[in-house]
Each structure stands twice: as C-alpha cells, then as structure tokens.
Structure 1
Amino acid sequence: MAVHLFNKSAFSLTYQKYMIPVSSEITNIVLSYVKAKSNGRPLEMAVDVGCGTGRYTLPLAPHFKKVLGLDISDSQISVAKQISLAKNVSYMVAPAEKLPLKDASVDLVHAGLAAHWFTIDKFVNEANRVLKTGGCLAVHSFEPFPDFEYNNSSHKMNEVMSEVWDVLYQYFDNVTHDMFYQYQYIYDAIPLKDKERITDVCDKIQLSIPEMIGFIQAIYMFERFKEKDVKGAEKLLMQTEKRFREILGENADSDCLNMHMKYYCVLARKH
C-alpha cells in the first residue's frame, strides 16, 4: 500500500506546499451540518482523523473549543506542528482505527481526503464510540482526475493531463479506486441511521504552470513513480511543463488555468 509514502519528510513538505487548496465549499457544508445538528449546543471538541499536514484541521479551529489532528505519519504531523498557529489545535500520531479518545467525548469526527486509506469498518466503529450523543461524523474527498480549462485550448490541456494520468495510473493504489464511487461504501458502512451523502460538489481552482507542476508532484502516484524511476519522473515533469507552456504561449508566465474538481462528502449524526 502506498500509505508509506506519507512518512517521507520531503513528500510531506511537497504535499503541504502544492496539494490543491482546502475546499471552502466542502468545509462550509460540513460546518453547517454540524451546527444544524447541534441544536445550539456549544461545540467543544473536534478530531481530524488522517489530518496529514493539518490543511483541513485548521479551518475547524474557529468553530470548536479544541481540535485534535491525528495521523499515522510522523513526518506529516511534524509539518502540521510547524505551520499551526491556532492555540486550540494540537496534533498526535495515532491510527484511524484506534482513536486515543474517551467514549462519548467528541462533537465532530472529521476526515478530509483520507478515509479511503482507513480500514473503514474499524474506523466508523471507533467514530461511533467517541462521538457524543448528537455528535457528527464527516468524511469527504474528490474524484481523482479533474478537468482543466484554458480559453479555447481546454481540449489540448486535458489531452496533456490525460497522458500524465496514463503514466501515473500504473502506480495507482487499489484503495484509491474507492474514490471513484464517491464514498458510497463508507456511507453503507456507517452504523448510524441519521446520515446522508452529498455528491458532485463542484469547485474551481486557478493554478499557474509552476503550481500545476507542483500539484502533480504532490500526488502520491507521482511519488511512487519517482521511487521506481527518478529520471522517468523528472522527464515527465519537464515534458509536461514544456507542453503547458506551448499551449499558453506568450502568456505562460502570467496566466492561470482552471482546474475543475468534483467533491463529495458523507455526513452522519449519532442519536
């Protein structure tokens, strides 16, 4: 399983720097759901499971008295601690399948871009154990292969990225196939009656060419490729950047392209 890649310090830094920005759309959906289900009860504790470098942990901080980020990767947690400025946020190395929390102690169990790496039956049972009555579970991710748009050259841009995906697909981890099904299997596994699944939440992200190349490097499949073939990975980046610049022409250093993402989330409340 490719999860070992997230223990590499260099990859953790690349992931933090270049992975696509946090989706405010998804964050708002999660927070609106939690607040609606709390019936005005103060939100004291949130736990962000598989928090990585804390990219989705920090947006929770203004809404809870305490937020705990958990991840099995020492290097990801190390980066999270370095960049965290919120006084009510702390981090700990721990697996999703054995949460270091007391029964009925948490208002929100959250997992962003991470749950497909978990052993789901154990994770949802642990989430159910630590949630307070009225507490919520929220997990979300995005479809792996986004669409790209740039003026009248969108087709050319997507052709280039299609060739990149063809190369990287050889290094696809089986668990990531579940991302294509928009977490239906997680929805089915949650032992709570009050639950819902929201799909096809669209978001648009603007990226410069260097940011686009960085995004490719932040994908675990590219890191896996680089482990097997450093020169091949470097060649892929150089060729891809060259083709991007040919498409954008004289505007290559000033214009941004649009990346269209499709997000989805599963939400549940414990009675």
Structure 2
Amino acid sequence: MSVKDNFSEQSELYAAYRPHYPAMLFNYLFDNVKSFDCAWDCGTGNGQVAYQLARRFKKVYATDISTKQLDNAIKAPNIHYMQAPAEKTSIPSSSVDLVTVAQALHWFEVKSFYNEVKRVVKPGGILAYWGYNLLQVAKSIDPLIKNFHDNIVGSYWDPERKILLKEYADINFPLKDPHQTYFHYTVQWSLKHLKGYLESWSAVQHYIRQEHSNPVEPLIDQLQSHWRDNQVVTFPVFLILGRVG
C-alpha cells in the first residue's frame, strides 16, 4: 500500500505554525471516555493532540509515518512516539480507551485503519476524528484567502483534500451512537504567522516544487493593508465521535 507523506519536508513549519485545538474539544472528549489508562493519537504530526491527551491518560501512543514530524513533536514522559502507518501498528490489542485522529483521516486507507482500531481498543472504546475548515479572519480578508485556496493553489491539492472539505461525510464507520459537533479555535496572529501557516499547506509545497516560486508572498503583499496587529483568526472545527462496534 502506497502511503503519502506530504509533511516531512515542512515539518518545522508545521510544528511552529499549525493551529491547535480548543480546550472545549478536549473536555468534550474526556467527558465521553470511561477510563483514562491509554489513548492512541494516530497521525500525530507534531504531537499537539498527544500532549493534551497525556495530561489525562496514563499512557499515550502517538504514531505517524514521518520521522521528521516525530523529531519535532512535543515530548512528555508518558507519550510513546512510534513511526507507523495508521493501518498497522505495534500497539497491544485491546489496550486503548480512546483513539483520536486530528486533521489526518483523509490520508488513511479507512477500512484498514478501522480494522486496526477494532484490534487495539478495549470493549466500549471511543474513536474521535476531526478537522478544521478554512480559516476565517475578516470580510476584507476572507475572499482573498479563499481565492488563494481555491484558485491559486487549487490544482495543487491532493485529491484527499476534498474528503476533508466535506467534513468526512463520505466516511461511514460502523460506530455506536455516532454524533458530530462543532467548535471554534480563535487565536491572534501576526501576518508573519499567517505566512508560515500557509507555507505549511501541502498544496503550497507542491506549487513551490513545481513552479519554483512561492505563491504565498504575493498574497501577503495583498494583505498588508488589511491585516491588523494581532489580527483575530478563527478556525471552525468539526468533530465526529462514537463507540467502536
């Protein structure tokens, strides 16, 4: 099985500039979990979710296919980082209370991944997966960013991007009592931070490699007159959660 790794080359950008997730999201997860012995954060990237889980769980397995991502991941004594695809890990069977996937499910072979989830979870274990939609800033800024996303780098996105943009509606795991909910993550960013975040996009990196120029720089020039100091940026986050059947 071919596995895409779109984030190793910009792993430092990813660690520095990718948005986090709101505390309300993690509180929601914890309210749905019965036991806090062990969690698995799959496609952990820079470990930001694993770190939050490690504050409540005795042990956290955090897996990713990218060693560079794992090298830049947040460390904690109870987080066990492992290089492994989502579909096959060395996590012990029937050991996990909660499986999380943040902004990564669209890269997985979902049937094989769910088989692995069923293998590693305890009876009644929870699977939660989520992602964020395009950032929202201001009426004068949002159309420029959407045009950049859809048109400037639109053809450079991998096909899997469409799965995310549809909020994983086409992925139907046989979960018990599945439900979807929404959160918002709000931060204050400089224009430099926005630039770093956009440059972490896989489509931007594809564009740079193919066209030998950085498409983010003209956009940043456009935004100079619109961007305020410590501009408020909001990420709409969607989450699906259910018990593993």
Q: TM-score, normalised by structure 2?
A: 0.91
Q: Distance in 1 between matches of 2:244 and 2:144?
A: 45
Residues 48 and 67 in structure 1, CA contact (< 8 A), matched pair in contact too:
yes
Give the number of the structure whose residues are more often helix, by fraction. 1
Confirm whether residue 44 of structure 1 aligns to residue 37 of structure 2.
Answer: yes
Q: Which residues of structure 2 form unaligned runs of 5+? A: none
Q: 1:242 aligns with which of 221, 226, 231?
A: 221
Q: Which has the larger radius of gyration?
A: 1
Shift, 1:183, TM fit: 1.8
Post-superposition Cα deviations, 1:132-189, rounded to whole Å, max 9, x if no partner, equal 012111111112x22222xxxx3x2123213321211111111110112212233x2x
How many residues are aligned here? Answer: 243
Aligned to 1:195: 178
* 1:98-126 deviation per Cα after TM superposition (whole angstroms, max 9, x unaligned): 12122211111111111111011111121
Given that 1:196 and 1:266 are in contact with CA atoms closer than 8 Å, whether structure 2 keeps it comes out as yes
- Secondary structure (helix, strand or coil) at the match of 2:235 reads strand
Alignment of 1:78-227 (within 5 A): 78-80=71-73, 83-84=74-75, 86-143=76-133, 145-149=134-138, 154=139, 156-165=140-149, 166-186=151-171, 188=172, 190-198=173-181, 200-227=182-209
Kindly state the Cα deviation for residue 2 of structure 1 after the two structures are TM-superposed: 9.2
8 Å contact 2:127–2:243 — kept in the other structure?
yes
CA–CA separation in structure 1 for the residues paired with 2:193 and 2:24: 21
- CA distance in structure 2 between the partners assigned to 1:2 and 1:103 by the alignment: 23
**2:58 aligns with one of 53, 65, 69:** 65
Match of residue 263, structure 1, among 211, 223, 237? 237
The alignment-based identity, stated in percent, is 27
Counterpart-to-counterpart distance in 1, 2:205 and 2:27: 31
Q: Which 4+ residue blocks in structure 1 deviate beyond 3 angstroms?
A: none
Query: What's the C-alpha RMSD, in Å, of the aligned pairs?
Result: 1.9
* TM-score of the aligned structures, taking structure 1 as reference length: 0.83
Q: In 2, Cα distance between the equivalents of 1:45 and 1:106? A: 5
Q: Are 1:171 and 1:225, in contact at CA under 8 Å, matched by a contact in 2?
A: yes
